[in-house]
Amino acid sequence: MDKKFTRRSILKATAATVAGAAVVSSDLLDWGSAWAADSPFKPEDGAKLQVLRWKRFIQSEEDAFMELVAAFTKATGIEVEVLNESMDDVQPKSSVAVNVGSGPDLIWGLYSLPHLFPNKCTDLTDVADYLGGKYGGWVPAAETYGKSGDKWIGIPMCFGGNYINYRNSAIEKAGFKEVPQDLEGFLALCEAMKGGGLPAGMALGHATGDANAWVHWALWSHGAAMVDENDKVILNSPESVAACEYVKKLYDAFIPGTASWNDGSNNKAFLAGEVGLTNNGISIYQKALVDGLDVKDDMDHAYYPVGPVGVPTEFHIAYPILVPTYSKFPNAAKAFVTFLMEAEQYNRWLEGSVAYLTHSLNAFNSNPIWTSDPKREIFAEAANRTFVAGYKGSVGQKAASAISEFIVVDMFANTATGQMSPKDAVADATKKARRIYR
């Protein structure tokens, strides 16, 4: 499957105007033309679209995406320009665009991006209803991220699973056959790995994706949360202190230096054989496959352990797309989103993303990517197992602010590096959270 898309891909990773540039398979083209004629959303005359998206981590995902974009252009005659920005830059760029009222017609960002400026997002309820009705409904997290009140302000096109990546040989050397699925067992594994020479390591620096993913799991798995259902700050709790104590023990078992790790550090360290366990998307495995590294046969993925709360408390990245109200071509933008998420397109794209992305519509559970390689299987459930940003409260601007300020990451980092006691770190984080949530 990888080869198929790699061979056909001819598009650059950076900004590219794609109108008619990509080679589009004839079946896709035929289907696209038929779809355009019967489209539920009629694009404006002379429409042109500019899409701002996060820069790909998996080349085959971008190739598949650009092929669909080219197919859309061929089917509708609408030129689409795709701008790529690194994950951390999408939010500031879109914030500026929305503030000045000019910029891309579609913005594809992370987590609760549409909730930063809900009043500036075009109502996409018709798109969500159409797609949800046709493809078995949205996963609950998609609905939470997509809706503001009764209105859909963004379409969560997919999720990015973030799971435990480990080397079989490393955990075996530590005396384990698999990654334990309880907190104490997981800690014991990490401690044993430190003694075994190939330690574990997870980012505790300001790493938007990887650090937020595992620290929120650590917090929630202990039964703690930043806010309750009414957005009242409840972080200052014995459960939070217990989570800090747990993370401190984990950190002590980690390879030194994880407090400075960013989103790329763990990939480098894992592939270089410096760590035997980390948390990440499928990108490490995919890199090993594409580059033919030996580690591809020695590695696998595991769920995060389940804590005393008894249910999975994972935190995976959501990728919502939104149409700012300043766009002159909202119908063309709606047509574009709908086109991408029709089964004929979306299935190809899911396959191209090789499990880096997980579907947000239930009907795509049956995509062959989830059964073609056992090492990819668990990523199929990421969208269904994830908690949302701001859990247990609302997924609004305050939740986005709390994540962007790394409040939970810093709480654990303060404890782990010995800057503060667990109690002080929790009190400190509570104060920061109260400032945002008042």
Residues that bind another protein (CB under 8 A): 91-92, 95-96, 98-99, 116-117, 119-120, 204-206, 255-262, 265, 268-269, 272, 274, 397, 400-401, 404-406, 410, 413-414, 417, 419, 428, 431-432, 434-436, 438
CA angle 355, 357, 360 (to 5 degrees): 120
Instruction: Give every CB contact of residue 92 below 8 A, 6+ residues apart in sequence.
Output: none
Nearer to another protein by Cβ, of 60 and 265: the residue is: 265
Type of residue found at 85? E
294 burial level (CB within 10 Å; 0-12, 13-18, 19+): exposed
Give the orientation angle of helix 59-76 with respect to helix 330-341, to 10 degrees: 120
Residue 277, helix vs strand vs coil: strand
Residue (of 328, 362, 356) closest to 343 by Cα position:
362
Nearer to another protein, 36 or 318 (CB): 318
Cα dist from 186 to 277, 374, 416, whole Å? 11, 22, 17
- Bridge-based pairing state of the strands 163-167 and 277-280: antiparallel
CB of 191 to another protein, least distance (A): 18
Torsion angle in degrees (nearest 10) through CA of 372, 374, 376, 378: 130
Closer to another protein by CB, 120 or 167: give it. Answer: 120
Element housing 17 (H / E) = strand 16-17
- The distance of closest approach from Cβ of residue 429 to another protein in the complex, given in angstroms and rounded to an integer, is 10
Closest separation between CB of residue 99 and another protein, Å? 6
* CB nearer to another protein: pick between 95 and 362: 95
Nearest distance from C-beta of residue 275 to another protein, angstroms: 8
- To the nearest whole angstrom, how small is the minimum distance from the Cβ of residue 120 to another protein? 4
Q: Which is nearer to another protein, 175 or 273 (CB)?
A: 273
CB nearer another protein, residue 283 or residue 338: 283
A 10 A CB-CB count for 292 gives: 7
> At closest approach, how far in Å is the CB of 90 from another protein?
11
Closer CB to another protein, residue 6 or residue 419? 419
Residue type, 369: I
Give min distance, CB of 116 to another protein, in A: 5
